[in-house]
Structure 1
Amino acid sequence: MSFTRKALNAVKYRQNLLRGYRLSLWIKAWGGTCGPRLAVEPGVRLMRPPSKGWYFGSDVYLGHGVVLDVGEKAELVFGDRVKVFHHSLIGAFDSVRIGDNVQVAESVTIRDHNHDTAAVDMHKSMSKAAVSIGNDAWIARGVAVLAGVTVGSGAVVAANAVVTKDVPTMAVAAGVPAKVISHREQLSA
């Protein structure tokens, strides 16, 4: 990599950290918790002000166009070194917990709520169930993680999968709906 490219990347990273610092001040002002080095690309949107249920660990990255739609009494927890890449949406009306070292690729949707299709007026009725993503998981491009799902530690969810049921620890899941297709070897310490 050329010196010029390295210098431009360093400037961009400092700008992302400055945006992250501003967002962390806002999160803390509203009662949330935020660790150091939150890096935020331009275009990140918060649909509502942060609340006490927001927790961001250290070294969190939010890519361009990420949308955080979090209800007033909901819990949104990001562990340390979480990366959420561009144009992903995280919707929490109950609880969304993302563990340490998790990679969420671009255009991913993670929601802990859905319209209650059994209700007469499904647009006014919502069902909610917590979503949890374990440490060291990888959620690939275009995945939809739906309400009530737990993705285990070290699991991989393949591109464009729709996760409607739990994915076990160290499993690889793919498809619509997502099914376990293999298991990974244990992570080395």
Structure 2
Amino acid sequence: MLKNYGLYGILQLIYFKIRTKLLFSKARLIRFPFRIRGKKFIIIGQGFTTGFNCRLDAFNIFDKIEPLIKIGKNVQINDDVHIGAIDKIEIRDNVLIASKVFITDHDHGVYSGVNCDSPLSIPDKRLLHSKAVIIEKNVWIGEFVSILKGVTIGEGAIIGTMSVVNRNIPAYTIAVGSPAKVIKKYDFNKKEWLAVKS
């Protein structure tokens, strides 16, 4: 451990561990700074681990009773992850999220059809629109990924780096790109990832 972290790194980990247990008793390790807004609308499961400078925002603008952000067991998010909810974001067990990932269940304004928002209107004054995000268990999300409102990512899926997920991703698939498209699916009989024809 000394070889990997150095003396200062080990002392820092001890400090983070103590602070984690005082503030978030179920979590495994939270590296500070860690920014959280709307803590009473957030449930963090056993074994939660973060990198540095992560941010969880739960804004209960609809006066909901249930939690807006629900994080399952053994979820790990790395540096600079931002999760913002006004409706529902659920991250189930054993999800691994790389650095600089953005997950949101809402956006500002409507940009299609009649009566859509004008580019002359002030962006933060436009109405918020939301739809729940569900990330099933054993999902791996690569760096710089954005996951947008109304998306479900199926169990065991992998989202490649720099992808923008704006539609559902089936279980046991690999999806990449902007917008993210499925390129491989795991074949349980052959025990290998097979290319998906587009």
Distance 1:124 1:100, change over 3 A: same
- Residue 151 of structure 2 is matched in structure 1 by 149
CA pair 183-43 structure 1, distance change in 2 beyond 3 A = same
- Superposed CA offset, 1:91-149 (max 9, x none): 01100100111001000000000012323555330110000101000010000000000
Equivalent residue letter for 1:134: E
Between the aligned partners of 1:132 and 1:3, the Cα distance in structure 2 is: 39
Query: Relative to 1, partners in 2 of residues 1:106 and 1:4: Cα closer, same or farther, differing over 3 Å?
Result: closer
The separation in 2 between residues aligned to 1:119 and 1:3, in whole angstroms, is 55
Is the contact between residue 17 and residue 37 of structure 1 (CA under 8 Å) also seen in structure 2? no
* Partner of residue 50, structure 1: 39
Contact 1:60 1:82 in 2 (8 A): yes
Match of 1:29 in 2: none
Q: Match of 1:22?
A: 22
Helix, strand or coil: the match of 2:39? coil
Quote the offset at 1:18 in angstroms.
1.8
Task: Choose 1 or 2 for highest CA Rg.
Answer: 2
Among candidates 29, 36, 40, match of residue 26 of structure 2 = 36
For the residue of structure 2 that corresponds to 1:69, the secondary structure is strand
**TM-score for the superposition, normalised by structure 1:** 0.83
Structure 1 residues 36 and 10, CA gap change in structure 2 (3 angstroms) = farther
> 5+ unaligned residues in a row in structure 2: which ranges?
111-115, 192-198
Q: String of CA shifts for 1:147-181, please: whole Å, max 9, x gaps.
A: 00000110000000000000000110000000000
- Residue 81 (structure 1) aligns with: 74
Q: Secondary structure at the match of 1:40?
A: coil
2:27–2:44 CA contact under 8 A, matched in 1: no
Any conservation in 2 of the 1:19–1:41 contact (CA below 8 Å)? no
CA RMSD between the two structures = 2.2
Q: Secondary structure at the match of 2:19?
A: helix
Q: Which moved more, 1:147-156 or 1:114-123?
A: 114-123
1:158 to 145, 153, 160: 160
Identity across matched positions, percent = 28
* Residue 64 of structure 2 is aligned to residue 62 of structure 1: no
Distance 1:4 1:137 in 2: 27
Count of aligned pairs between the two proteins: 175
Match of 2:196 in 1: none
Scaled by the length of structure 2, what TM-score is found?
0.79
Secondary structure of the residue that 2:17 maps to in structure 1?
helix
CA distance in 2, matches of 1:158, 1:97: 20
Q: Distance in 2 between matches of 1:42 and 1:81?
A: 18
